[in-house]
Structure formats: C-alpha cells, structure tokens
C-alpha cells in the first residue's frame, strides 16, 4: 500500500488482517470489478491494486490455514485407524 505520513498503509494492512476469509474475498471481488470497469484515476487504480494485493494475501493465509487443519485432521484419522487396525489384528 502507498504509505502516507500518518501511517495509513500500516492501518490498512492491520484492517485487512482482521478480516475473515469471506469478507476479504468479497472485498477483493469488488476491487477487481472496480479495476475492470475503469474510470478511475491512476492514483485510485494503484490504491485499488494495492488493496487487492493485501486482500489476496489475507485470503491465501486463510486458505493455507484451512489446508493445514485438513491435513492435520486427515493425518490424525490415519493414525487412529492404524492404531485400531493394529490392535484388531493383535486380538
């Protein structure tokens, strides 16, 4: 984000980080629509692009976190099945 003397870029990044996945995704869709529609100044377009980049990073972090949780759940399930399968063959 473009940094201003009052630190708006840092505040905008912190705000983006506080968004949930769906909120970030919906705002990102809006940013893309506005960029595709045109009619904005160069400065406005750059600000939209930078906001879109921040929102995309937020979405990626949420998706990466979700993937890690799924992988952990699947690994746990496999361990439990392996343990119960091993005890069943021991009986």
pLDDT at 82 over 60: yes
Confidence bin at 1 (pLDDT 50/70/90): very low
Angle, helices 42-90/21-37, rounded to nearest 10 degrees: 150
Confidence bin at 83 (pLDDT 50/70/90): confident
Which two structure tokens, joined as six digits, stand for 59?
């979405």
Residue 88 or residue 15, greater confidence: 15
3-state secondary structure 34-90: HHHHCCCCHHHHHHHHHHHHHHHHHHHHHHHHHHHHHHHHHHHHHHHHHHHHHHHHH
pLDDT the model gives residue 89: 56
- pLDDT per position as a tens digit, 2-55: 444 445 666 667 677 799 999 999 999 999 999 999 999 999 999 999 999 999
């Amino acid at each position: 984000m473009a940094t201003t003397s009052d630190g708006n870029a840092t505040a905008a990044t912190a705000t983006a980080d506080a968004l949930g996945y769906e909120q970030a995704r919906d705002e990102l869709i809006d940013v893309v629509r506005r960029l595709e529609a045109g009619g904005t100044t160069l400065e406005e377009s750059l600000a939209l692009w930078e906001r879109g980049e921040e929102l995309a990073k937020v979405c990626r972090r949420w998706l990466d976190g979700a993937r890690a949780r799924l992988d952990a759940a699947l690994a746990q399930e496999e361990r439990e099945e392996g343990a119960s399968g091993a005890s069943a063959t021991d009986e």
